[in-house]
Amino acid sequence: MDDFFNVLQVEELTRILQQMPALGTQELGLENCRGRFLARDLHAPGDLPATNRCSMDGYAVRAGDTFGAGESNPAYLEKVKDLGICDIPDFSIDQGGCAGVVTGGILPQGADAVVMQEYTEELGAGTVEVRRPVAPWENVMFRGEDVAGGDVAVSAGQRAGFRQTAMMAALGVDKWAFFKTPRVGIISTGDELVDISSPLQAGYIRDVNSYALAHLVRGCGGEATVYGITRDREEDLNKALLRALEKNEVLLVSGGSSVGQRDFTLKAMQGIQGLEVLAHGLAISPGKPTIFARRHDKYIWGLPGQVGSAQVVMLVLVLPFLNHLQGAADAFSEDAKGMVRARLSRNLASSYGRKDYVRVRLQEDEQGLTATPVLGKSGLLKTVFQADGLIWIPSNCEGLARGEEVRVMTLP
Ligand SMILES: Nc1nc2c(c(=O)[nH]1)N[C@H]1C(S)=C(S)[C@@H](COP(=O)(O)OP(=O)(O)OC[C@H]3O[C@@H](n4cnc5c(N)ncnc54)[C@H](O)[C@@H]3O)O[C@H]1N2
Ligand code: MOO
């Protein structure tokens, strides 16, 4: 049976997903921007640091005056002044001169290095003994060394992590424009499903997907709402979809996405006015019965019910899509964060024409990382549960050979 239509290659669906516009933007304070993507390039309003600064406590000197200095033949310099952390030097260091400085203080004009206090001694009457030479610009942070005024300090599409937050704080940016995060409604379908808090009778299974999908959505910054279980009835699912569409930009429906007797997801979607099914069936394993549909600026994913399949499709397509909606640059790049290289432990066969995602365990030895496939049916949890990452076999390839280098997308 193959009633799938629009069976797409993963790359074709990716191109469609990339065309979907990002969500709107909002201004956020630094304390609330964690994990958000910047909506505009942030240009440094001025040089950072704003001046040459000392990176050690000691004496600002002209490096040339210390050349050849040692324990047995120290250099002797005349101290002009002691500078405090906030002092703006109103003098210049001439040959043979020095100034007392503290870590972070402004380096006076004329000086081009700082000798650490440990290698000096004040002899009285303004004379400082220096027992070690310093190289030019040693122990100095340059004006504009972090970022020059006018340059892009943090670019649009970067996620605000602690490094971006630190940079914005240093530049005095207390608010910035960030993309909004998607609200994601999650629905499970199946007569056999029961919520995890209910007793389990023979023939029934627990709704795993609602919990796993919501966890992944929240982990990538989305706001997940779990709508629970809908029975295998087209009208019920249609109603549940309409209701959830009102409050969310994205819906994830798991189960019923295939072509069986009780697979109503597609029909329930098609009953929604203005909805356009852009994919039903993907050349991917696991995850073939994936559906992607759009209704204006809202999106519905139909995910396979099998726990492993739903998780793999989430990792390789839905999470990048959610990142794309919230403004990530290169959300679909296969070189995104978390990619490592490993050698494959065994031969792996694959069917030509579809992209296979194989779950692997990673082990490290003296030659580097080895990826060992965790094989099994995608209705089982173990293939993902026991794995550390995913590798993929491209659709134009019939398998991978033992010892081949593979890129591994590590699991979140
Ligand atoms: N004749 C064919 N049969 C199947 C095909 C096919 O092409 N032809 N595809 C297979 C593949 S591949 C997959 S994947 C599944 C996908 O089926 P559905 O998306 O329609 O999912 P269901 O039939 O509703 O469920 C499949 C399986 O997953 C369990 N399930 C469903 N929801 C949950 C949940 N929330 N938590 C835990 N487990 C869930 C469900 O009980 C079933 O065991 O179709 C194959 N069949
Ligand atoms: O696609 Mo199914 O998702 O192969 O198990």
pLDDT of residue 263: 83
In the Cβ-directed half-sphere of 206, how many Cα atoms lie within 13 Å?
10
Q: How far apart are CA 390 and CA 409, in angstroms?
A: 5
Taking CB atoms and a 6 Å cutoff, what residues make up the pocket around ligand 2? 285-289, 304, 306, 309, 378
- Does residue 331 lie within any of the structural domains? no
pLDDT at 361 over 80: yes
Mean pLDDT of 80-84: 97
Nearest atom, ligand 1, residue 232 CA: 24
Task: Domain count for the chain, please give it.
Answer: 4
Taking CB atoms and a 6 Å cutoff, what residues make up the pocket around ligand 1? 1, 188, 190, 192-193, 205, 207-210, 254-260, 263, 286, 288-289, 304-307, 309, 378-379
The reply to whether 207 and 114 lie within a common domain is: no
Domain boundary (141, 171, 206) is at 141
Location of structure tokens 């072509």 = 259
The reply to whether 319 and 378 lie within a common domain is: no
- Does residue 37 lie within any of the structural domains? yes
Bond preceding residue 136 cis, omega within 30 of 0: no
**β 291-295/355-365 pair status:** unpaired
CATH number of the domain that 16 lies in? 3.40.980.10
The reply to whether 73 and 128 lie within a common domain is: yes
- Does residue 334 lie within any of the structural domains? no
Q: Does ipTM come in above 0.85?
A: yes
pLDDT of residue 203: 94
305 Cα–ligand 2 center, Å: 9
Beta strands in 169-249 (DSSP E): 175-179, 183-189, 193-194, 205-206, 223-230
pLDDT of residue 224: 98
Domain range for 188 is 10-24+181-326
Ligand nearest to the CA of 285: 2
Ligand nearest to the CA of 211: 1
Q: How far lies 33's CA from each of 21, 155, 327, in Å?
A: 21, 15, 13
Domain boundary (326, 359, 383) is at 326
286 Cα–ligand 2 center, Å: 4
Q: What is the pLDDT of residues 50-66, one digit of tens each?
A: 999 999 999 999 999 99
- Does residue 5 lie within any of the structural domains? no
- Does residue 100 lie within any of the structural domains? yes
DSSP assignment letter at 52:
-
Q: What is the pLDDT of residues 262-280, one digit of tens each?
A: 789 999 999 999 999 999 9
The reply to whether 257 and 301 lie within a common domain is: yes
DSSP β-bridge partners for residue 224 = 184
The reply to whether 170 and 246 lie within a common domain is: no
Q: What is the pLDDT of residues 87-124, one digit of tens each?
A: 999 999 999 999 999 999 999 999 999 999 999 999 99
Burial class (CB in 10 A: 0-12, 13-18, 19+), 165: middle
CATH number of the domain that 64 lies in? 2.170.190.11
CATH number of the domain that 362 lies in? 2.40.340.10
Listed residue (217, 203, 182, 198) closest to 326, CA to CA: 182
- Does residue 123 lie within any of the structural domains? yes
Containing 172, the helix (H) or strand (E) segment is none
The reply to whether 232 and 290 lie within a common domain is: yes
Mean pLDDT of 342-352: 95
304 Cα–ligand 1 center, Å: 6
Ligand nearest to the CA of 377: 2
The reply to whether 266 and 320 lie within a common domain is: yes
pLDDT of residue 1: 41
Q: How far apart are CA 228 and CA 230, in angstroms?
A: 7
260 Cα–ligand 1 center, Å: 9
| Percentage of the chain modeled with pLDDT above 90 | 93
The reply to whether 285 and 241 lie within a common domain is: yes
The reply to whether 104 and 229 lie within a common domain is: no
Listed residue (326, 286, 378) closest to 39, CA to CA: 326
pLDDT of residue 259: 79
| Percentage of the chain modeled with pLDDT above 70 | 98
The reply to whether 221 and 303 lie within a common domain is: yes
Amino acid at 365: D
pLDDT of residue 6: 67
Mean pLDDT of 273-289: 95
CATH number of the domain that 173 lies in? 3.90.105.10
pLDDT of residue 86: 96
pLDDT at 251 over 80: yes
396 Cα–ligand 2 center, Å: 19
Domain boundary (141, 171, 191) is at 141
Q: Give the model's confidence band at 258: pLDDT under 50 very low, under 70 low, under 90 confident, else very high.
A: confident
Nearest atom, ligand 2, residue 379 CA: 5
Q: What is the pLDDT of residues 207-231, one digit of tens each?
A: 999 999 999 999 999 999 999 999 9
Mean pLDDT of 373-383: 95
Mean pLDDT of 187-208: 95
- Does residue 373 lie within any of the structural domains? yes
pLDDT of residue 3: 59
Ligand nearest to the CA of 1: 1
The reply to whether 44 and 128 lie within a common domain is: no
The reply to whether 106 and 164 lie within a common domain is: no
Nearest atom, ligand 2, residue 288 CA: 1
- Does residue 287 lie within any of the structural domains? yes
